[in-house]
């Protein structure tokens, strides 16, 4: 059955407030699934499965799926669509509220066509709070993808770029056209992968991210002003950091250097 068949099962229209733009092009679902690069039976966390377009492709590759969906009417559709499939657990919850300590075992892969209104917050939450996820394959707005991979000194570089670089290796994979969705979104979507290696200094990296958040709150100021509540000008000079540069000129390693000193 086509994706449109499952979308038509929805009693009400797609809920724009929940970022419901469903993927109807199975070639794109397949391309995303290929990026998962897991082993047979690896556990996948899918956030916002919707009517199950991406989910059904993931199941074809024999992954074990835990899918968190906030909309109960979609949970009903998914329960019918995957009624005979043992490899999937459906959880009707807000992914921002779910207790991720329930993810046991170290090698989770997160796959999601993220709802736009909460996508960035969810990604930050999972990177900072759920270390058992070692790979993320996510579809986000093009501009969020650009912020994720942005390099120091560029206009898109910010606390999100620092976080992603400190904890993962992020990579833009491909753009997805608006006509691959129903209803069509107003923006271009981009698929990004983030690979996370085991880290033995996560607390320090978290601290570096917190410092970056403080700095980028005043991103047009020089760091001697933007960071004045946490470090003096003299201490910046001792660390070989020029107090007159702006937060966007500091590399993720510079933020790490600041975290070590504080």
Q: Cβ neighbours of residue 109 under 8 Å, at least 6 residues apart?
A: 36, 38, 42, 43, 44, 45, 63, 133, 134, 135, 136, 137
- Tell me the closest approach of the beta carbon of residue 168 to ligand SAM, in angstroms: 21
Binding site for ligand SAM (CB under 6 A): 18-23, 47-50, 53-54, 68-71, 74, 94-96, 113, 115, 118
- Tell me the closest approach of the beta carbon of residue 253 to ligand SAM, in angstroms: 33
Sign of the CA dihedral 251, 256, 261, 262? positive
Q: Cβ neighbours of residue 148 under 8 Å, at least 6 residues apart?
A: 123, 140, 160, 161, 164, 170, 172, 192, 194
Q: Which is nearer to ligand SAM, 19 or 43 (CB)?
A: 19
Q: Which is nearer to ligand SAM, 27 or 240 (CB)?
A: 27
- Tell me the closest approach of the beta carbon of residue 113 to ligand SAM, in angstroms: 3
Tell which residue, 189, 136, 144, has the closest CA to residue 167.
136
Tell which residue, 134, 109, 138, has the closest CA to residue 122.
138
- Alpha carbons 183 and 256: distance in angstroms, whole number: 43
Q: Which is nearer to ligand SAM, 115 or 152 (CB)?
A: 115
Residue nearest to ligand SAM (CB): 48
- Tell me the closest approach of the beta carbon of residue 219 to ligand SAM, in angstroms: 28
- Tell me the closest approach of the beta carbon of residue 38 to ligand SAM, in angstroms: 18
Query: Under the phi-then-psi rule, with left for phi > 0, alpha for psi from -120 to 50, and beta for the rest, what region is 49?
Result: alpha
Do the beta carbons of residue 67 and residue 56 sit within 8 Å? no
Q: Which is nearer to ligand SAM, 18 or 214 (CB)?
A: 18
- Tell me the closest approach of the beta carbon of residue 204 to ligand SAM, in angstroms: 30
Q: Which is nearer to ligand SAM, 64 or 257 (CB)?
A: 64
Q: Which is nearer to ligand SAM, 133 or 212 (CB)?
A: 133
Q: What is the CA radius of gyration of the chain?
A: 20
């Amino acid at each position: 059955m086509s994706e449109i068949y499952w979308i038509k099962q929805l009693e009400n229209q797609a809920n724009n407030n929940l970022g419901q733009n469903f993927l109807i092009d199975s070639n794109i679902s397949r391309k995303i699934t290929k990026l998962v690069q897991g082993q047979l039976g690896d556990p996948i966390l899918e956030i916002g499965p919707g009517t199950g377009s991406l989910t059904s492709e993931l199941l074809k590759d024999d992954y074990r799926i835990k899918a968190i969906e906030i909309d109960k009417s979609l949970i009903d559709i998914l329960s019918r669509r995957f009624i005979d499939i043992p490899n999937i657990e459906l959880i009707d919850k807000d992914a921002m509220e779910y207790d991720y300590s329930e993810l046991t075992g170290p090698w989770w892969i997160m796959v999601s066509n993220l709802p736009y209104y909460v996508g960035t917050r969810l990604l930050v939450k999972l990177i900072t709070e759920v270390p058992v996820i070692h790979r993320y394959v996510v579809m986000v707005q093009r501009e969020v993808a650009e912020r994720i991979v942005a390099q120091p000194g560029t206009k898109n570089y910010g606390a999100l770029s620092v976080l992603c670089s400190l904890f993962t290796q992020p990579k833009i994979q491909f753009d997805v056209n608006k006509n691959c969705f129903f209803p069509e979104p107003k923006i271009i979507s981009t698929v990004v992968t983030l690979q996370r290696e085991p880290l033995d200094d996560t607390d320090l990296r978290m601290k570096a991210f917190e410092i970056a958040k403080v700095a980028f709150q005043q991103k047009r100021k020089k760091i001697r002003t933007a960071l004045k509540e946490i470090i003096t000008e003299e201490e910046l000079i001792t660390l070989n950091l020029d107090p007159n540069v702006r937060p966007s000129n500091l590399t993720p390693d510079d933020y790490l250097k600041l975290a070590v000193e504080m």
